[in-house]
Structure 1
Amino acid sequence: MADFNTIARPYAQAAFKLAREKNALAAWSDQLGALAAVVRDVQMQAILASPRLSPNQQRDLMLDLCGEYLDEGGKNFVALLAENRRLIALPDVAAQYEALRAAEEGTLQARLISAKPVDDALRDAVAEALGKRLKRKVSLQPEVDEALLGGAVIRAGDLVIDGSVRGRLNRLTTNLNR
């Protein structure tokens, strides 16, 4: 899927501002998540990129698919995006909205990528240590990557902590080559 970050930014900011004013950050997360999931479908992307559908037809299609998950503000948001032919940018709008929400709430979503499944106690300990380091509440999503030889990699926004065996070997090789 194309990168619509620049296009999505003002829409994400507007949605966030409206959600904060209405004290509905979680509700808007749910709405944008549902809309983004629909737009991520390859067939839907082709439909939304087609010049054959008018903005009103695009709006009606999205409301038919997601209307039950949207409040009045969400429906108006879909209409605005359709009018400007920006529905295709919804996954990026949702991602940027979530980043704004996390910053507002002082939370951070991070991924813990390991060679084998991590138990809950270790995941909680890593989340707590990372939270102290970053001074935020961290929610860790565990992932398994069997390509890792051992260890783990933590990705939290722009921060990457590579404690994998491969990462250690790469650092050792770099140091030996100096």
Structure 2
Amino acid sequence: MLNTITLARPYAKAAYEFAAGAGQADAWTALLALTASAVEDTVVLEQLGNPELSSEQKVALLAQLSEAADNKDFVNFLHVLGENDRLAILPAVYEAFFEMKEEADRTQVVEVQSAFELSAEQLQTLAAALSKRLDRTVIPQASVNKALLGGLVIRAGDLVIDGSVRGKLDKLAEALKS
């Protein structure tokens, strides 16, 4: 069976090209996020797998849950997914769409873990430094991880910067073992 990312990529590309061309990329991002989160709900997933419901009814359910009924183009997109029995891959479509939007906007969401809560000023300074290094606008998402002891762990796509005390202690322990 094909990988869901492989299945989702052409749908995401078509959706992004349409939404960007219509100047609705932000609206489609929000709608895709809502429908993707709805599809991940077990009750909704059961309904989408119900053979007694037609694809029209399944699309209507998702359109109602995501409040997308006003956006005819988005509902048409859901119909295409429904007709091809691909509504369950909406989370992967959203991820691929979001990555395309980030690339076009030259932005990147960066996960920042710290041992203690970071102030807004610290996050802003960190975002500025990372923006310069990554050559794009960085949107930091901060979280607290007490296991780090001190310092930061930054994840930006494939790039991981481990400046935590825990990471340094692990490297030291590894060096002492060898």
**TM-score if structure 1 supplies the norm length?**
0.91
Aligned to 2:7: 7
Cα deviations by residue, 1:36-90 (Å, 9 ceiling, x for unpaired): 1211212212222333333222112212322446511111011111111111111
Amino acid at match of 1:168: K
Please give the root-mean-square deviation of Cα atoms over the aligned residues, in Å. Answer: 1.6
Amino acid at match of 1:73: D
Aligned to 1:52: 52
1:159 correspondence with 2:147: no
The ranges of structure 1 where at least 4 consecutive aligned residues each deviate by more than 6 angstroms after the TM superposition are none
Aligned to 2:65: 65
Distance 2:160 2:151 in 1: 14
Aligned to 2:107: 107
Distance 2:82 2:70 in 1: 15
Contact 1:25–1:101, Cα closer than 8 Å, also in 2: yes
Corresponding residue SS for 1:147: helix
Amino acid at match of 1:88: A
In structure 2, runs of 5+ residues without a counterpart are: none
Corresponding residue SS for 2:154: strand
Corresponding residue SS for 2:66: helix
Change (3 A) 1:104 1:12: same
In structure 1, runs of 5+ residues without a counterpart are: none
Contact 1:115–1:148, Cα closer than 8 Å, also in 2: yes
Aligned residues: 176
Corresponding residue SS for 2:148: coil
Contact 1:31–1:69, Cα closer than 8 Å, also in 2: no
Distance 2:15 2:4 in 1: 16
Identity of aligned pairs, percent? 39
